Amino acid sequence: YELEMKDNHKSPRYSYNSHKSQQPRTERSKDTRSLQIAIVGAGISGLSAALTLLDSKLFTPKNIHIYDANNYIGGRMHTTLWLPEYQTSEWCGEFLDSNHDFMMNLTKRFNLSLIDTIDPTDSDGSRGTYYFLKQFYNASEAWRDYQAISDTIQQQLELIGDISYNETNSDATYFDNLSLYDWIEKYIPNGHQSQFGAYIDSAYTQEYGLDTREQSSLNFLFAISPESQPENGPLSIYGPSDQRYRIKDGNYLLPEAISKYLMKQKISINLNYNLTKISINDNKKISLRFQNDETYIYDHVILTLPTTTLKYVDYSEAKFDSLKKRVINELKYGTTTKLNLQFKERFWLKLSSDGVIYTDLPFLNSWEATSGQKGETGILTLFTGGTIGTSFEPKKGINTLTTSSCNKNTFLYVEGFLDDLNEIWPNASTYYTGKGTISAPWVDKHFLGSYPAYTLGQYSTISGYEKERQMNIHFSGDYTSPDLQGFMEGAASEGDRAANEIIADYS
């Protein structure tokens, strides 16, 4: 078949500069209007930073330059439009939490609407499907099992206290270096042989994209604290994160709207600019060299690249301190893989399900990507990570499921997932239309990972230092926000923070 989809970024409604960057002036002036500022990365973090700089009215818009190695704006906010149904799904960043105020304010500013994905009739979590150790499980059982260990979790959190690269104690360091896998074995009755233990392992493997043997147990403990839970259940598996909202008609609409606004104000957005070297010159100005051999000089630079790609930039002359280098080289990213599969109808609704599955079967987690959207067809997202996520490798990080774009292993992977879905929902695969998309950002050379996840010992050695500036080189992205790693809110709010560092220098 020929998949009828449109990648909304391949044919932009307005033009970007590509390999035609305006050469910035090099003289520094006390007048902020002459300052030259570069932002590397045109994802939501870089766009948010540019918007904050523009709003300050301190800087000349034409002296603010955004660069991105990709050929589209938005980074991991990247939507697919499915035709002829006019439904949307997300390649990467998908959900906003109820408390993601910064992103909420951006959507309001640019007149975008939100879809509420929470079913108001499912207050007890009964419409979700839980399947572990070849048996069904339910929300009330999960709440019961959590209650049995909630006091232990609270006691451990009190011992841990605050922790970061410059603040820890012996208990905090112990739990930081204890893997989540071993925590489950030690503190959950019957460990991984219990359905609750299997649930925790599965949920956090797909949430962070790394096997629990690699993850610090603090990833789990900080998220699932008793104070983050409703008084009478059901269990909120990721604590305060309710992953409730999407942007109507596609999350890409927000970076598209921001970039269009920025360009109207004469801020340049330069695509296909891959940063290869960053240096601090003798006069403390910053030199950026790109793969096309163009070099530009700036007074301030905001780097929004993930550390997975930043480590391949030559920063030997950027005067980064040893801890910054450690952050860049050691911060791990997950290997989550997302399958969006289209079905002829939303058959799961007939099963009194909202499409959400938690399981220890290889696909780990599913949800309906088309909740709140019109149309008879429905799209299920199958979301996995860790070793399972890397068990196949598509030809590129983002592509549609067609014979020409995927290898044989990818199709075997999809067939295996459909078989697993049949184990939970018999005959589910008979509704599959054959259309789908697959995104594995850990394969894409511009990302090389999905989102950051602290591994053993990293809370007490690097956490909190990700955002620390190095002279006039500033850092932003979801990875610089320890509390909001992996969220669009983290990326956007950190872009704002980095921009405000520059503003504060001249206010």
- The helix (run of H) or strand (run of E) holding residue 338 is strand 337-343
Backbone angles phi, psi at 382, to 5 degrees: -105, 125
Distance CA 436, CA 381 (A): 10
Phi-psi region of 448 (alpha: psi -120 to 50; beta: other; left: phi over 0): left
DSSP annotation of 181 reads H
Q: Are strands 79-82 and 398-400 parallel, antiparallel or unpaired?
A: unpaired
Q: Which stretches of 226-349 are DSSP H helices?
A: 253-264, 307-310, 322-330
- The helix (run of H) or strand (run of E) holding residue 278 is strand 275-280
Of residues 505, 504, 503, the one with CA closest to residue 59: 503
Distance CA 46, CA 56 (A): 16
Residues 6+ apart with CB under 8 A from 186: 178
Q: Which stretches of 188-252 are DSSP H helices?
A: 195-208, 218-223
**Sign of the alpha-carbon dihedral angle for 447, 451, 457, 463:** positive
Q: Return binding residues for FAD.
A: 45
Sheet holding 79-82, edge to edge: 5-7, 79-82, 87-90
Q: Which two tokens mark 250?
A: 């596609």
> Could you give the angle at which helices 139-160 and 195-208 cross, rounded to 10 degrees?
70
Distance CA 160, CA 219 (A): 13
Q: Return binding residues.
A: 45
Of residues 265, 301, 260, 329, the one with CA closest to residue 40: 301
3-state secondary structure of 300: strand
Q: Angle 208-193-383 (CA atoms, 0-180°, nearest 5)?
A: 30
Measured from the Cβ of residue 430, the count of other Cβ atoms closer than 10 Å reads 11
DSSP annotation of 333 reads B
Q: Which stretches of 100-194 are DSSP H helices?
A: 101-109, 139-160, 170-177, 180-187
Backbone angles phi, psi at 272, to 5 degrees: 60, 35
